[in-house]
Structure 1
Amino acid sequence: MDLPSGPSHCVVVTGSTRGLGFALADAFLAADCAVVVSGRTESAVGECIEKLRSTHPNSSVTGVAADVGRIEDVEGLFATATATFGRVDLWINNAGLGGHPVPLVELTATEIADVVAANLTGTMNGCIVALAGMREQQTAGQIFNTEGFGSNGVKRNGMAIYGATKQAIRYFTRSVVKEIAGGPIRVGTIIPGIVVSDMLAEQYRAASPRRRDLYSAFADLPETIAAELVPRLLTNQEHGAVISWLSPTDMVGRMLRPKYKKRGLLAALDAPTEDIERVGGASGSTKS
């Protein structure tokens, strides 16, 4: 079955009620795609759809409340996408839980399990379901997994569990890329860089002046990142592609250009005001 006239692709973005996931969904709609959003609660999904439709009144968008740590929820998400739009062309495993940057011994077993389930198990479930569904469709498709802090092996106090899940996602994604090589389905990685979010806000407040300068230089708003990533995701033809927001050259350039250190994206966090909602709460979240 073909998509309804208009949308060129059907895209599923997990964890898309806030933060980068919402910005990706918004940018995909702007690119004339049909989009399926998801979040943990019906209310969050409903609010997300309402906001997207207010910006894109003629868009094709629907959503499902899904816990990505439960494979039956992920299967339901794929089923809704195909029932509504005919097929899934692009699946993005974006859902994740940041947790709190605190020492390992202070974390409860529940907090640890929640982060692992959302970040790692959720990514695995998304790949399993999307691979099986795309094979059944007998059409080419793409699956992208989202990396984050720790995926490259960098360590930081208080980030042991989150970083471990993100490094595991890198290994997992590379393994899947090798396993399905030569088939019609492409698997790749998104590296969004430092996204302005609640988790970043918490880290920024606890950071040294030097690290605050680094955050100020490299952090970007979700919508800024999404606007750049979405066209590259839609036109990608490479299996195993890594779609990265900032290249090493870009990062060096930012460090050498004073304007990037004084952009003010995180300035509100130095002295809490009403603007903090824009910096942390409205643009991103530790849970998506």
Structure 2
Amino acid sequence: MSNYHQPVMLHECIEALQIQAEGTYVDVTFGGGGHSLKILEKLEGGRLIAFDQDEDAKHEAEKIKDRSFTFCQANFMYMKRYLKLNGVTAVNGILADLGISSHQIDSPERGFSTRFDGPLDMRMDKTISLTAAKVLNEYHEDQLHKIFGMYGELKNAKTAAKLVTQRRVTNPFQRTEDLKAALQPIAPRGKENKYFAQVFQALRIEVNEEMKALEDFLHQCGDVIAEGGRLVVMSYHSLEDRMVKNYINKGKVFGEVDKDFFGNELKPFKAINRKPIEASEEEVEHNKRARSAKLRVAEKI
């Protein structure tokens, strides 16, 4: 399955979960199954429930015949609902490897990669109607400005939005190369690849409602992880990492921690690592995707 997706910080993730042989665990980002297979190796009488909304991931999951394994083809924002459907109310650990899989990036027809020409699709769940092309061709200039600035962290988000809305009047966006050609004049010299990657990231996050899904998922973790259980989350850009860090430290994605009448903090987790764990230089050398990965671990109080 390593051809499908090379899992980042595999050893660190599994170690952080502190797996008990008879425990119940959740892998909310199955992908190619790298993390799930390692978890299953450590279970004896335990159970693993995995989630992924991608049809290709479902085909990978079908290769696993272990009776301890259950696959749910769903977005992890519906985790609690699907766990309940499978008779699970409490778990001992949850693992989330956010972002996008190598397989999705390496499939030109999915439109995720800046390296290939492909349709401006970017849907992780192919049943939804919103695509990157629709966002570019139909969103108001103000909406595009917000998406590019907030999700792509572009310094010239306003200019990019204006250029897109001007270009689409005569040439509607259909393919990834159309978008790159349109934004080429305003891409920073020598940093074009990074710039396009930020633009693609912004569109992908919008199409798949990634920030809303992450917020919903995190708040459900407090409800389903048993006392002493672990939450292990790996993120790949500052927007995600900030949300994960805030949730662990404050019990909510945005805002300050709530306190009770006596001034005690009301939050479900305590951080195990104050600073995020990062991949070794050796791993980054073999897997470039590991360079931006930040791993945070928390324990249910």
Same fold flag (TM > 0.5): no
Asked which structure has the greater CA Rg, the reply is 2
Range into which the TM-score falls when normalised by the shorter chain: 0.3 to 0.5
TM-score with structure 2 setting the length = 0.33
Q: Of the two structures, which has the highest relative contact order with CA contacts closer than 8 Å and spacing of 6 or more? A: 1
Higher helix proportion (structure 1 or 2): 1
